[in-house]
Amino acid sequence: MKAVNNNGIITTYPDVPKQFRSSTGYHLNARGMTADELRDAGMFDVIIPEEYDSRIHDLDEIYFDSAASVFKKDIINKTWSQTLAELKEQQINNFKSQIGSKLTQTDWYIIRNADDATEIPADITTARAELRTQSNTVETEINALTTKKAVMSYDFPNIG
């Protein structure tokens, strides 16, 4: 990420833009400029701390660190208005929704079995049972967490 300060207004870019305006003027063909030319024009890297996790952090206002010659955004710990129990319920419900979507893909086997007793393939019943087990495991793990930060940064497993 790159940024430039144009008379007190900091503009960020995902990468070096084709052109940009800075306090030193309007710069065309910026992608063709050398690293030194970009710095001389006021275009610098934006540094975001490695530990930044958007699930539990917000980013503070961008500023220029003259000692390091970079723009920076510090992290701020998020606060949640919901209680710990409410956040747990929210995360569990989100995961159960994903599991439900996955189960929906094979529901027709269950319906067909209920309608005319057509046998459900063993791999389907095994996969569905694994999804329900996975859902129960995630619910147990989330309910064992003791902080809002831990609940919100819980890494859900990949759904089979």
Give pLDDT tens digits for 60-81.
999 999 999 999 999 999 999 9
Contacts of 61 (CB under 8 A, 6+ apart): 73
Give pLDDT tens digits for 14-71.
999 999 999 888 999 999 999 999 999 999 999 999 999 999 999 999 999 999 999 9
pLDDT value of residue 3: 96
Residue 160: pLDDT over 80: no
Q: How many residues does the chain have?
A: 160
Give pLDDT tens digits for 104-159.
999 999 999 999 999 999 999 999 999 999 999 999 999 999 999 999 999 999 98
The share of the chain scoring above pLDDT 90, in percent, equals: 94
Separation between Cα atoms, residue 98 and residue 95, nearest integer Å: 5
User: Of 142, 153, 157, whose CA–CA distance to 86 is shortest?
Assistant: 142
Pair 102, 156: CB distance under 8 Å: no
Q: Is the dihedral of CA 3, 35, 17, 1 positive or negative?
A: negative
Query: Whole-prediction pTM value?
Result: 0.76
